[in-house]
Amino acid sequence: MNGVDAMFGKFTGRIVATTFFVFAVTLWNSIFYGYYNYHFNMLLDLSYTIILAAIVWWIASYYDHSKFLLKNLTISEEKYKKLLDETNYVFNNLNQVVYQTDNCGNFIMLNPTWENLTGFTFDESIGVQLQSFVYHEDQFIADNIYNNNGTSHMSIRKEIRFRKNSGGFVWVELNMKYNYDVHNNLLSTVGTLTDITERKFSEQELLQLNEDLTIQSEKLSVIAQLSAAIAHEVRNPLTSISGFLQLLKERKELDLEYIRIIFSEIERIELVLGELLMLSKPQSVSFQTFDILKTIDYVVALLISKANMDNVEINNHKSAEPLWIYGDENQLKQVLINILKNAMESIGYNGKIEIVQCQSNNFVSLYIKDTGCGISEELLTKIGQPFYTTKEKGTGLGLTTCFKIIENHKGKIHISSQLGIGTTFEIILPINEMIMSNVNHA
């Protein structure tokens, strides 16, 4: 039954037309030959029948074909609508921002994730340039996005920060594809924005952790290398204390001068051990204002025993006025210890280290000059690179850590050296202008 219905539905026009044709021919014959009693005219009758059959069949075929096309068009329209609904569902529910811009970079299409990511609404953003939503510190990246002339890149990928409507920024990975016409003129761009804020912060935390571990490792390395000198610093006061206690025991009476000396030596031991503990203990980074000259005195006092053992003379030419620095004192101590220790190792035995400070404009320069073996120009360019070292048992992380610490303090390190003559380190640090201004006015 279904087959008959299907056939009838497909050829409805032709079936109806055939029925009409039979009826029309029968009516023709009845009128002409029955009612009017005309004589049978073969030519007229055949012509009428053929022409009527052709017209009826053409109309019927046209009807059936049109009906078939209409049915297919309806099916296609339903499929397209379903596909469009599915596409819009995916487009509107992606976790990534999907966008399209014109050739000037103005948004012409955005999905709802854009508002979730930045806080800017669809109406606020459509027709506005993509670059205007980029965080101000990354504008130099955004300015280059639409500078392609059609011969450089068909697509790009950038990690960049976008402004948030509520303030601050969000890290995104921008993927963009350029569309050009046949004359290489930019027509539009399409792309995605993926939120990578959490990943970027995790990377920064990991880098900071690695940096802290490196600094702590270098501190422990310095302590290990200075252990003999530190033991000497502690043993000398202990010898003095032991001697004076022996004298007091023999005299069997208290001598205030002896007691004063004993307490003085105990304070000296406490100072050395306290400084050693301060150096070895992990410290949280804390920026504050301090006098760099006192920091240099601390480092020289810590290293002087080692220097004396190696017959190395350390001359600290102190500036007459305090030099106030804003930074982390413990980290800068680590820098000075590393550089002075390297200078002593370069000298080996019997030499000099000169420390000079000078102020220029808003910066202070610390010069540490040694009379060691020097560094060749070829090796000088590699100094500060991770894991590069000229020492047999070195890690190559000491000076790398120093460079990183000074960079974090918005300073610089310059190195000059001559083989057989020595090396000079210049550490440049910004001065705390407010403190220096108050001191100068006072």
Residue 338: is its pLDDT beyond 80?
yes
Strand segments, DSSP code E, in 166-295 are 169-180, 186-195, 288-291
Alpha carbon distance 70, 77 (integer Å): 10
Alpha carbon distance 93, 99 (integer Å): 14
Residue among 189, 20, 54 at smallest CA distance from 108:
189
DSSP state of 129: B
The size of the chain, in residues, is 442
Q: Answer yes or no: are the C-beta atoms of 312 and 353 closer than 8 Å.
A: yes
* Pairing status of strand 363-370 against strand 312-317: unpaired
Q: pLDDT tens digit string along 118-152?
A: 889 988 899 998 888 999 888 888 877 776 544 55
Alpha carbon distance 275, 299 (integer Å): 9
Q: pLDDT tens digit string along 153-202?
A: 688 888 899 999 888 889 999 999 988 888 888 888 898 898 888 888 88
Identify the residue with better confidence: 33 or 311. Answer: 311
Residues 6+ apart with CB under 8 A from 238: 265, 269
Identify the residue with better confidence: 398 or 318. Answer: 318
Q: Answer yes or no: are the C-beta atoms of 29 and 71 closer than 8 Å.
A: no
Neighbours of 310 (CB within 10 A): 15
> Would you state the pLDDT for residue 354?
93
Question: Cα 183 to chain center, whole Å?
Answer: 36
Structure tokens at 143: 């300015």
The CATH number corresponding to 288-441 among 3.30.565.10, 1.20.140.10, 3.30.70.580, 3.60.10.10 equals: 3.30.565.10
Three-class DSSP category at 138:
helix
Q: pLDDT tens digit string along 270-300?
A: 666 665 655 555 556 678 899 999 889 888 8
Q: Answer yes or no: are the C-beta atoms of 215 and 334 closer than 8 Å.
A: yes
Alpha carbon distance 115, 48 (integer Å): 74
Residue 369: is its pLDDT beyond 90?
yes
Reported as half-sphere exposure (CB side, CA atoms, 13 A), residue 391 has a value of 15
> Would you state the pLDDT for residue 356?
92
Alpha carbon distance 402, 412 (integer Å): 10
Q: Answer yes or no: are the C-beta atoms of 428 and 325 closer than 8 Å.
A: no
Alpha carbon distance 173, 195 (integer Å): 7
Backbone angles phi, psi at 312, to 5 degrees: -105, 125
Domain ranges of the chain: 2-91, 97-195, 288-441
238-242, 363-367, 372-376: least confidently modelled range: 238-242
Backbone angles phi, psi at 363, to 5 degrees: -130, 155
Alpha carbon distance 366, 201 (integer Å): 34
* Pairing status of strand 312-317 against strand 351-360: parallel
> Would you state the pLDDT for residue 441?
46
Sole residue written with tokens 């050693």? 276
Q: Which fold has domain 97-195?
A: Beta-Lactamase (3.30.450)
Alpha carbon distance 90, 111 (integer Å): 10
> Which residues is 53 bridged to in the sheet?
none
Write down the pTM of the prediction. 0.45
Q: Answer yes or no: are the C-beta atoms of 200 and 148 closer than 8 Å.
A: no
Three-class DSSP category at 321:
coil
> Would you state the pLDDT for residue 150?
46
